[in-house]
Each structure stands twice: as structure tokens, then as C-alpha cells.
Structure 1
Amino acid sequence: MPGILIADRDATERAGISWLVASCAIPYDQVHTAGTMAEVFQVMEAHLPQVVCMELDMIDKAHWERFKLLVAQYRPIVLVTTSEATFERAMQGIELSARDLWLKPQTPEYIRRVLTRCCQERSGDERLEPGAGSVQGLRKEISYLDLFLPGSSPVGQQKVMLAQLEDARRHSELLDFFSGYPFRDKPVLLPTKDAIAAVFPADASLSWSQWHQFGKRLLMDWEASSDAPLFLVIHDAEDSEQSLQQKYEQASQALHLRFFKGYRQVSMVEGSVNWLMIDPFLTPGEQRTWIDMLHSGNREQLKQWLYAHFFYKDEPYPEPGLLRIRLTSILAQVRRYMKSHGLDSALLEEAYHRVFETILYAPILYRIVTELLLFINELLDTFNNRGDEIKADVIEQALRYMEGRYTDPALRLEDVARHVDRSPAYFSTLFAQKQGSSFRQILTAMRVKEAQRLLLETALSVQEVAERSGFVNANYFSKIFKEKTGTTPRLLRNQKKR
């Protein structure tokens, strides 16, 4: 009878597999364990175990070549385990001519079945041929290598279904559900970090509509037993030349369709998802539109803009990552609104960062847009409650800016509006409401007052007074001066002399 080496850094894992071998009466005559690479080398060289169950994560670079050499020399059946479903780990399994790859945590039943088969093979002296570098064709069951390694998975009519819960921590519940589900054709279940992959046999021949109906029935049965939202992708391609790895990769891409469709849906795919490429950043015109909508407080207009730009009913959908960038670009305009209106309390800052995290990580687009709208409404409500105080601050900022620049003939309302981060139309209305006069009237009054001072306190000519007061020319200055004071600049100066 063959011997087995169980190598794992976790003593609990070693004890668990050892117990499984003993309790299930799997006929290994010797069971060795190792928690370090030094122990692995000692057991392999001293006892020559015919089966090695090896944790890949414990093999560091310094010991990798020696371990490969021992495997090539003694040619045991190698089973590899890992907690990381990555391409690198799968490649390491291939280099070791591994019979199977177990992604932790693996079910006891599956471990028992594989160890029993390996024991039977070694008992019958079913060894790998020297120099064999491929595991394809040697495994009787689909494994993780078929999903992750190009070229290692079989080509055929197998169907791939991916099942994803919103809360990945509850995938163990879903796995238990699938394990006991009365499938007509029992699939191989392979849990990954993000989803549970189910590979159905090639003879599970159903039409496209039948697969869709099957998916909907599976959803209904799951929802009857659980409150966890589920999203299903079924890859049903007619191309029999596709490998399982290709089908799994395309189905994984389709998992991102839930961003638009939401959970409790079945998505049928037969190839790669064709995403629509868009410019993720707001144009200057769109930025101005957002600033105007926020300053005017038009909630309905804000809502309709977001609905029109982010609710997609038909494919092709924009690439989700680009949409997230576009949403952060909008949030940047909201941030400008907050800063310019003094909406920077601790609670609003916390809410802002929460919305930012939602945009980056929330799985459903509709929820992101809803959270963004709720936050904008909260800002507008806060602004309305503090409106008079905030508006007064804005006008004070504007007046101070004008007082420092009124001598510039080119000063315009648009310049001041930009300084206080308001749209020109909104600023003009707000300024008139608070000051009782228009922007042009206030600016002219500042210039006339300065001209009066210069005429009375200096010997500057009327032309020089006009230029230093911000008027374009002396004639226009004289006209405006008389309208506002009832006298001309020269008469005012003559009155001073007398």
C-alpha cells in the first residue's frame, strides 16, 4: 500500500487531512506530515511517499528547485493546495505535474474521493511516464487547473455557470445549496474567491432558452431558501473549440454585467463582453452645466441629468470602470459646490467620503446614482437652511474682490462670479437681491467715489482721473460722473479752488 505525505504550514490542516485518511479507511500504510520544507525533504528522501499533498504557499524560492528535483526523481503523485486562485499558483502545479489543485477550503468529500483514487492508482502501479509534463487526460474530473491555465483544460461542449452573491462571505451557504440541489446533470463545483463555478458535462444538452429557464428556476429556488441576492452567468457557446479556461474567462467578464442589471438576474453569454468605450471625464460644457444646476438648486434637473446619462437599458454597456471615473468627475463638481458654499461640516465631509467609496466599490450602478442624488439633496437642504448666512458671505467676498479691482476697466461680472464660484446668471440675481442694486451700478458707484477723491485731493487732469478710476475714456467718465453727482468733474474741481 502506498504512503502519503501531507505538507502544510497549518497544523490544523495537516491534522484534518490525516484524520480524514484514517476515518474514511483510505488504505495508505503510512501517513507522514510536514510543517516546514526541511521536514518535507527529510520525509521524501527517507520514506519515499507515493502521494504528496503539498501546500504551494509554503515553498519559497530558495527551496523550489530542490523540491522539483525530488518530484522528478521519485515521481510521486502530487496534489497541490493553495489559498490563492492565481495564475502563478496554477503554473506551479503544472511544473510539478500535479494531479489536482485544491483551493482552500476544499470539501472533505472531494478530498476523500481524490485521495482514494490516488491510492488505488499507486496500488496498481499506475505511475506517470518519465518526463510527463502535462496533467491533461490524467484527471478523471474537472479541476481548478482547467479554469485557470490556458491549454490545460479540455475542449468540448461543457457548459460553465458562475454564481455570485452580493456578500461573498456567504458563498459557503450557496455551495451547500448547490451540493444538495437536484440537478438533472450534476456539475463539478469549484468555488473561487468571487463566485462559484459550476461545470456541466458535455452531454447536458439543452437549448439556449432551456438553459435560461433553468437559470431562472435555480434563482427562484435559491430565493425561497435565502435572502442573499444572487447573480448568475451561464456561458452557452456553440463553439466546441473553446476550452473551459476560455469559457470561464468570458463568463467572469460577464459577471460585471450585474453593474447594470442588478442581482436576481440570469445573464446568458456565448462569448466575450463587448464594452462600449467612452470618455470618462466631463467636458467643460458639462462641468458648467453641473455648476449651474447645483447653484440654482434645481433638484429635478439634476435627477433627470443623472438618469439620462447613467441608466442603460440596452447593450453594449459602457465599461464599468470608465463609468466609475465619470461619476467621480461629477463628484468633483459637487465638491467645488461644497467648498464655495461653506458646506464643510464634519458630518457632510463624512457623507462625502462615504459617497466616494460607494462610487468606487458599490456593485450596482443604480445604487451609486441613488446615493449620489441623496447626498446632493442633503447638501441643498443644508444650504437652504443656512442660506442667508452663506449668501451674505458670498456677496462680501464679491464686494472685497471688486474693491480691489474696480480700477481695472476690463473687470466684468463674469470675473467676479468666477471668483466666488457661482454662475454669472445666478450671481447677478443674488447680488441684486442682497445689494438692492445691480453689479454694474455698484461698480460704477465705486469708480465715481474714487474719481471724486482724486479730483478733490490731487492735481491730476480729468483724463488721468478717469483712467485711475477705471473708466475707458474722459468723455464717458464726464457723462457718468454728471449723472451720478449732478455736476461735472471740472466744476467739482473749480468749487474746490474757490
Structure 2
Amino acid sequence: MTTLLIADRDPNERTGISWLVSTCAIPYDRVLTAGTVTELLRALEAERPDVICIELDMVPKEDWERLKLLTSLYKPTVVVTTLEATFERALQGIELHAVDLWLKPQSPEHIRRTLTRCCQERMARGTARVEQADSLGSALSYRSLFLPLESPGKGLRLMLLQLEDTDKHGELLNFLETYPFREKPVLLPLSDVIVCIFSEEKDTPLSAGQEIGKRLLMDWEEQHAEPLSLVLYDSTDEMLSLNQKYRYAVEALDIRFFKGYRQISTVQNKVNWAVIDPFLTPAEQRAWVDMLHDGDREQLKQWMYRQFLHKAEPYPEPGLLRIRLTSILAQVRRFMKSQGLDEGALEEKYLRVFDTILYTPVLYRIVQDLLLFIYELLDSVTIHRDEARLDIVEQAIRYLEENYARADLRLEEVARHVDRSPAYFSSLLTQRHGVSFRQLLTTIRLREAERLLLSTRLSVQEVAERTGFVNANYFSKIFKEKSGTTPRSFRNQKKREKS
């Protein structure tokens, strides 16, 4: 199928040439028209016409480079038209590799002959292109990729495509087999990547290959949700074999570790990874211990972002960064152990994060998962510490309730019982109950004293002795301060209320 595109601002010109093509039986299967440069560029990308007639006067300077790139990429036969017989217009025609320049008005006969010749040449070129593609396909095979001296790489450009879910490479292969490439590549699918080999003319710019990659990526994402990454390898070294180009291109696939999917990476030489020390220095280890114990989430996040995100070329070797991430995880592990949290659900999540560091193909996802795990760990530490504080206070209260009758019971003894310093235990008790140790002990003793006064016939002296007070006078004084009455009056009043 041969397609003609007529791009002219004058609707009469577009209509006239279209009519001429149809009435003279020039064998174009389709005739398209464009009245603006935007329509022209869109038609070039979407329809990829075989022959185009372009009015040079309709193309502004800011769109000229784009037009040159698209004509270089899709290689249509170009005819240019203009009202200005100037050197500048002739030079523009040369830049587009135009086969003819029409000065308006042009005779219908000349237009007919030119378009007929262009159509016939395109049809002949299409037949030759199919034969060339068949020849290229028969010359290139898996042996070409994997045997060092099997095939020269001169004139061959590689594009490697890889889905995040490699199990769906069958869908990607089907997509590529039906994709409307201008020059059909040889497709060699492997278990984790699909290799496209293009035969390129000597002067084809690298930007043309980039344009193919961008368009392919865009078209894939319009139809599929699975993330795709591309590597375009086009070395200037004509001595490289196809196997060498393939090995360098495969190594460049790891650039997605930094750039993520839905990207195209263009490389022209072997990737030179930057060398870094993957292990934390003693100062960095101390910094991590301090940040974890302080629970400073913002500081932890900023440290991780500085170390791992927004990297510029040359990128560090991905394997070394994975080692560095495991060194950080080792510090997190020590912190877990120090807090008694190295078991149960957190332990399982720790192991999953370890697998993430080793196998996840994109760096920012590893950083995100590691930070989320650290945040969850810090939350668990807070809960664990609160529970520990609660247990300590409850243990102390139970000890007081069992030993309140001893007049020599002191703060130091109770703190020693819960394995804390007196100052720390006293502060913890105040935070939890809002009272001092002495106030809590007195409250427990007075509560028991009230019970004994109401349920027994013990004297005030005996009640004081059984509740840990030094003597009856001190007991009566404290009792009156708290309840507003003496122990004897309290007993008599409660008896009268019952009777």
C-alpha cells in the first residue's frame, strides 16, 4: 500500500493535486492532506506516508528540526513546493533530501510525471526492502549474538526491550511482530529480553533510533499496563562484532536500576560504572545507631535520599549499591535485637526487605521499602517501650501491695525489684500515675487501713502497725489529712450509717 501526503496551506492546492492523482490513475492507495505544520507532523508520525509534497513556506523555524528528524526517521520520498525561488528554499529542499522542487504555479503534467515516478520507485523499493529484510533475517541468528566472531556489527543497531514481568514477553513479541516499523528489524526473543537488530544506513543519525524507541514505548503503553524499558545501543566503533554490541547492550540494561521502567536509555559505548566503597564507615555506622535510637524519621529519609536517589552518570555499579544497602540493613538488624524485636511478624518483614534489596530491579523501590520497614520498626519500638514501662509500673504496684505493711519499705528497694534506678523508676511512676512513690505507698496503706477499721475490731494502734505506719499518732495524723477525720471517728461514723 502506497500513501501520498499533500501538505499545503492552500486548500485549492491540496484539492487540485488530489484530483490530479485520482483522474490520472496514479497508483497511490491513499491520499492524505495537511493544512498546518501540526497536521503535517502528526500525519508523518501516525500514517508514515511513502511520498510527501511539502510547502516549505508553511514550516516555521521552530518546527524545522522536528520535520528533518521525522523525514530522516521514516524516510519518505520528499517533494518540496515554494513560491520563493531562493537559495534558502533550495537549501531546505536539499536538507530534506527532496527529489524535486516545484515552483508555484507548477504544470499539472510535471506534477503527474513526478508523482508517478515517485510512486513507482517506492513500490520497487518496498519489494527490495522485503528482500533485504529476509536476507538480513537469514544472516542473523542466535549464533550471531552469542559467538564472538560470528557476525560483524558494522551497520547494525541494537534495541533491547525488557518487561518488568518477563513472563509476559510473549505479548511483547506479538506486539513487535505486528508493529509498523519502517525498516523491519530481526527479532530474537530470549528468556529475559527481546533483541531487535536494525540494519541502518551509514549516515542515519542516532536521534532517528531514539525517535523509534520513544514512539514504540508510547504505543506499547497505550495498549498495555506492564512497564517496559528499552536500551538503544549504537556504537561508533565499526570494529565491534554483533556479539560485543549485544554484551555491552545487556550490561546497559542495568541502567533501569537508576532510571526505572518506561524509559529509553541510549548508549554508544561500554557502560563504565563508578566504583564506590559499598560498606558503611565507622562514622556512618555510629550515625545510623544514633538516628535509629533517636527515632528521627526525617533524618533517616534525607540520609537515604542523599545516598541513593537522584544519581547522575556515571552511575555506581548496581551490585555495590546492593551491598551498601545490606550494610545498612545490618545496622537495622542490630537495633532490632537490642530492642528485643527480632522475631515474629517483624522478623518475617525483615527477611522480605532483604530479598527486596537483592532482587528488586529498581533502586527507588528498594529505598522506599527499606524506609517503610524502618518506620514500622520505630513504631513497634515505641509500642514496645510503652508496654515495657507499663509492665514495670504494674510490677512495682504489685510489690507495694504485697509489702506495704513493712515500715522500712523504701523507693530504692522497689526500684531494685523492677531492675531500674530509683530516679528512673520515680520519673516513670510520676509519668504514669501523676504521683510520687511516697504518695502511692501512703494511698495503698490508707486504703488497707480503712478496710481494717470497718471489718475488724483491731485497735487504732494495731491497724497502724499492720499497715506499715511507724506509730498510731503518725497514722492518725496522715489519716485525718487525707479523709478529713480521725480513724476512730471514721469507724464510728460508718457504724452509725449502717445502723
1:386-401 aligned at under 5 Å gives the runs 386-390=384-388
**2:272 matched residue in structure 1:** 274
RMSD: 2.7
Q: Which of 161, 182, 185 pairs up with 2:183?
A: 185
Kindly tell me: are residues 205 and 296 of structure 1, through their superposed partners in 2, closer, same or farther at Cα, counting changes over 3 Å? same
Q: CA deviation at 1:388?
A: 2.9
**2:352 matched residue in structure 1:** 354
Kindly tell me: are residues 156 and 277 of structure 1, through their superposed partners in 2, closer, same or farther at Cα, counting changes over 3 Å? same
**2:229 matched residue in structure 1:** 231
1 CA distance for matches of 2:279 and 2:364?
19
Contact persistence 2:232–2:265 (CA under 8 A): yes
Sequence identity of aligned pairs in percent?
Answer: 58
Cα deviation code 1:57-92 (max 9, x no counterpart): xxxxxxxxxxxxxxxxxxxxxxxxxxxxxxxxxxxx
Contact persistence 2:159–2:195 (CA under 8 A): yes
**Which has the higher mean CA deviation after the structures are superposed, 206-215 or 255-264?**
206-215
1:139-178 aligned at under 5 Å gives the runs 140-178=138-176
Contact persistence 1:156–1:240 (CA under 8 A): yes
2 CA distance for matches of 1:335 and 1:215?
43
The residue type paired with residue 378 of structure 1 is: E
Contact persistence 2:251–2:271 (CA under 8 A): yes
Kindly tell me: are residues 260 and 356 of structure 1, through their superposed partners in 2, closer, same or farther at Cα, counting changes over 3 Å? same
SS at match of 2:373: helix
2 CA distance for matches of 1:139 and 1:229?
28
Q: Count residues with an aligned counterpart.
A: 269
Q: CA deviation at 1:393?
A: 9.4
Corresponding position: 1:368 with 2:366 = yes
**2:251 matched residue in structure 1:** 253
Q: CA deviation at 1:346?
A: 1.2
**1:24 matched residue in structure 2:** none
**2:283 matched residue in structure 1:** 285
Q: CA deviation at 1:205?
A: 5.4
Q: Which of 305, 309, 325 pairs up with 2:307?
A: 309
Q: CA deviation at 1:324?
A: 0.3
Kindly tell me: are residues 433 and 305 of structure 1, through their superposed partners in 2, closer, same or farther at Cα, counting changes over 3 Å? farther
TM-score by length of 1: 0.51
Kindly tell me: are residues 373 and 139 of structure 1, through their superposed partners in 2, closer, same or farther at Cα, counting changes over 3 Å? closer
**1:67 matched residue in structure 2:** none
Q: CA deviation at 1:201?
A: 1.1
Kindly tell me: are residues 145 and 308 of structure 1, through their superposed partners in 2, closer, same or farther at Cα, counting changes over 3 Å? same
2 CA distance for matches of 1:431 and 1:299?
32
2 CA distance for matches of 1:431 and 1:162?
69
Contact persistence 1:383–1:390 (CA under 8 A): no
Contact persistence 2:137–2:186 (CA under 8 A): no
Kindly tell me: are residues 266 and 391 of structure 1, through their superposed partners in 2, closer, same or farther at Cα, counting changes over 3 Å? farther
1:126-145 aligned at under 5 Å gives the runs 140-145=138-143
Q: CA deviation at 1:155?
A: 3.5
Q: CA deviation at 1:392?
A: 8.6
Contact persistence 1:341–1:390 (CA under 8 A): no
SS at match of 1:282: coil
The residue type paired with residue 367 of structure 1 is: R
When Rg is computed on C-alpha atoms for both structures, the one with the higher figure is 2
2 CA distance for matches of 1:235 and 1:363?
20
**1:45 matched residue in structure 2:** none
1:187-226 aligned at under 5 Å gives the runs 187-203=185-201, 206-226=204-224
Contact persistence 1:185–1:204 (CA under 8 A): no
Cα deviation code 1:249-288 (max 9, x no counterpart): 1100100000000000000001110101111110111111
**1:300 matched residue in structure 2:** 298
1 CA distance for matches of 2:349 and 2:385?
20
Q: CA deviation at 1:381?
A: 0.8
Contact persistence 1:230–1:263 (CA under 8 A): yes
2 CA distance for matches of 1:348 and 1:150?
49
2 CA distance for matches of 1:194 and 1:307?
30
Cα deviation code 1:277-311 (max 9, x no counterpart): 11111011111100100000000000000000001
1:463-478 aligned at under 5 Å gives the runs none
Cα deviation code 1:359-415 (max 9, x no counterpart): 000000000000000000001111112223446999xxxxxxxxxxxxxxxxxxxxx
Q: CA deviation at 1:434?
A: 4.7
The residue type paired with residue 362 of structure 2 is: I
Gap regions ≥5 residues in structure 1: 1-116, 118-136, 395-429, 438-498
**1:456 matched residue in structure 2:** none
The residue type paired with residue 331 of structure 1 is: L
1 CA distance for matches of 2:380 and 2:285?
22
Contact persistence 1:327–1:359 (CA under 8 A): yes
Q: CA deviation at 1:192?
A: 1.1
Gap regions ≥5 residues in structure 2: 1-133, 393-420, 429-499
1 CA distance for matches of 2:326 and 2:170?
34
Kindly tell me: are residues 347 and 186 of structure 1, through their superposed partners in 2, closer, same or farther at Cα, counting changes over 3 Å? same
**1:401 matched residue in structure 2:** none
Kindly tell me: are residues 233 and 138 of structure 1, through their superposed partners in 2, closer, same or farther at Cα, counting changes over 3 Å? closer
**2:319 matched residue in structure 1:** 321
**2:400 matched residue in structure 1:** none
2 CA distance for matches of 1:228 and 1:157?
32
Q: CA deviation at 1:342?
A: 1.2
The residue type paired with residue 146 of structure 1 is: S
Q: CA deviation at 1:204?
A: 8.0
Contact persistence 1:163–1:230 (CA under 8 A): yes
**2:68 matched residue in structure 1:** none
Q: Which of 234, 240, 246 pairs up with 2:238?
A: 240
The residue type paired with residue 262 of structure 2 is: R
Kindly tell me: are residues 251 and 391 of structure 1, through their superposed partners in 2, closer, same or farther at Cα, counting changes over 3 Å? farther
TM-score by length of 2: 0.51
Kindly tell me: are residues 285 and 432 of structure 1, through their superposed partners in 2, closer, same or farther at Cα, counting changes over 3 Å? farther
Kindly tell me: are residues 432 and 188 of structure 1, through their superposed partners in 2, closer, same or farther at Cα, counting changes over 3 Å? farther
The residue type paired with residue 264 of structure 2 is: V
Kindly tell me: are residues 343 and 391 of structure 1, through their superposed partners in 2, closer, same or farther at Cα, counting changes over 3 Å? farther
2 CA distance for matches of 1:386 and 1:434?
17
